[in-house]
Amino acid sequence: MTTSSAPHPPLLRIQDLHSPQLTLASWQILPGQCWAVLGRNGSGKHYLSELLQGKCEAATGTIAHDFKRITVLSFEQQQAFYEQQLREDDSEFSDSPDTGATVRELLGLHGDLPAALQFLGLAPLLERGYRLLSSGEARKALLAQALLNEPDLLILDEPFDSLDHTTRTQLADFFERLSHNKCLLFLLNTQEDLFPWHTHVAVLEKGHMIAQGERGLLAAPELQALLRFDASRLPPWPEPLHTQAPADPLLRLVNGQVRYGDSVIFSGVNLQVRKGEHTLITGANGSGKSTLLGLISGDHPQCYGNDLQLFGRRRGSGETIWELKRHFGMVTPALHRDHRVPGSALEIVVSGFFDSIGLYERPATAEWQHARQWLALVGLQAQADTPFKQLSYGEQRLALIARALVKQPPLLILDEPTQGLDDINRHRVLYFLEHLATQRTSTLIMASHRQDEFLPLFVHHVAMGKHLPMLGKDG
């Protein structure tokens, strides 16, 4: 005679949850399951994470689990840690700039990084200040911190975003092994970040869990339609409000380099960009992509020590940064981090006319109207009056994209612009870039890890490497 063993109780159970941000009738995670919750920007994933961490209370319903330690990795957490580092900045009381806690201090390490985490490539960065890390390096450091905390539940909000292809592959293999003995919950914007070892999937839409079960359910036509971008539904493309005609070439860099003491970030970069010559920058995390873009934009202090010309003027020849900024728009992780000022989504977009972080001038009526058109194009017209800090990370990124595009600048600098965006919004932004190329008003310089973002419009390709980058021209 055989007896069947009793079923294992759920690790997590949510029942009859009702709140203004999320409605969930019933959902549970059983031992051996690895769940991914898929949803668009603003769908409720962030609120679900906050709820599980106990940072907010449900209006009604029950949440039951026995997790003693819940740890989260998210862009919001990354932003919060960056702001904490700024608050602790003691540069005013020391002889050298405060670059934040070192990676070693962040991880609480007294020796080497554990062998299981060596693939993250953090060993050479252990003595580097957090604020000197690229977005991808900072993300890997915070992931290592989360793993070293040994949580019972690890919530991974877009863990693969901003990581290069090699790290992404290695991380997926690591998560597969980890999922056998730890409860992992993935919050994802895109189906491309689903892997075969994700056993179950749920779909959030406008605060409702509209589907849940084994991952095969995503094949349903109604779900595929929900996650598909349709350019025909976009509002009309706005005509440029202000025309600009800076000197050509727009950019010329000769033997560009950035170094900190004996550490060379990159050297020997030669780049010339004329109007309409769109440029793609690729390379692994930490190869210098963001640093190169900071050099071009003037946000990196070593721009004055390089042979760099922008719009026909050599940097350091008496020009002001405002004379240069009026000719370009930017979307970068650094710009996103620094948007800590109050203001609504609409005010953030209209500030693009003034190249300021925050709104300090009175816009003209036409500029307000133009900003509203761009909010509609990125799908945020309903959030026009919402404070920027109350938007989800992806919605914040969309507002910053609209801010950069509002004046359709001669030079558009884009550093991982689709970071944090769902499938629909990512394809929306790529459509914008392709449309801009046909308008011939803006020339693009973009850094990206994603091969599906290597669009045919790019004429130049700068591949950043450990030593000398390669400059190629793709037809």
Q: Are residues 211 and 316 in the same domain?
A: no
CATH number of 25's domain: 3.40.50.300
Q: Give the domain range for residue 247.
A: 233-473
Let me know if residue 136 belongs to a domain: yes
The pLDDT value given to residue 470: 43
pTM: 0.85
Residue 6 lies in a domain: no
The more confidently predicted of residues 45 and 261 is 45
Helix (H, G, I), strand (E, B), or coil: what is residue 451?
A: helix
Residue pLDDT, tens place only, 362-371: 999 999 999 9
Higher pLDDT, 129 or 403: 403
Q: Are strands 183-188 and 35-39 parallel, antiparallel or unpaired?
A: parallel
- Per-residue pLDDT band for 95 (boundaries 50, 70, 90) equals low
The stretch 315-340 carries a mean pLDDT of 83
* Cβ within 8 Å of residue 253, ≥6 positions away: 269, 270, 271, 272, 295, 296, 306, 307, 308, 309
* Res. 96 pLDDT band, cuts 50 70 90: low
Q: What is the pLDDT of residue 472?
A: 44
Q: Is the peptide bond before 387 cis (omega within 30 degrees of 0)?
A: no
Last residue of a domain, one of 228, 252, 267: 228
Among candidate residues 182, 211, 228, the one where a domain is terminated: 228
- Tokens matching residue 122: 């953090």
Pairing assessment for the beta strands 153-157 and 23-29 based on DSSP bridges: unpaired
Q: What does the pLDDT average to over 331-342?
A: 86
pLDDT for residue 475: 35
Among the candidates 186, 213, 228, a domain finishes at 228
Give me the pLDDT at residue 119, please.
Answer: 87
Same domain, 272 and 149: no
Identify whether residues 273 and 257 lie together within a single domain: yes
Is the pLDDT at 468 greater than 50? The verdict is no
Q: Are residues 206 and 274 in the same domain?
A: no
pLDDT of residue 469: 45
**What per-residue confidence (pLDDT) applies to 467?**
43
| Band of residue 89 on the pLDDT scale cut at 50, 70, 90 | low
Asked if residue 467 is part of any domain, the answer here is: yes
Range among 71-80, 302-311, 377-386 with highest mean pLDDT value: 377-386
Tell me: the pLDDT tens digits for 173-215? 999 999 998 999 999 998 989 999 999 999 999 999 999 999 8
3 falls within a domain: no
For residues 282 and 464, what is the distance between their CA atoms, to the nearest angstrom? 6
What percent of the chain has a predicted confidence (pLDDT) above 90?
52
**Domain identity same for 141 and 238:** no
Pairing, β 153-157 against β 70-73:
parallel
Q: Are residues 152 and 260 in the same domain?
A: no
Residue 220 predicted with pLDDT over 70: yes
Tell me how many domains the chain contains: 2
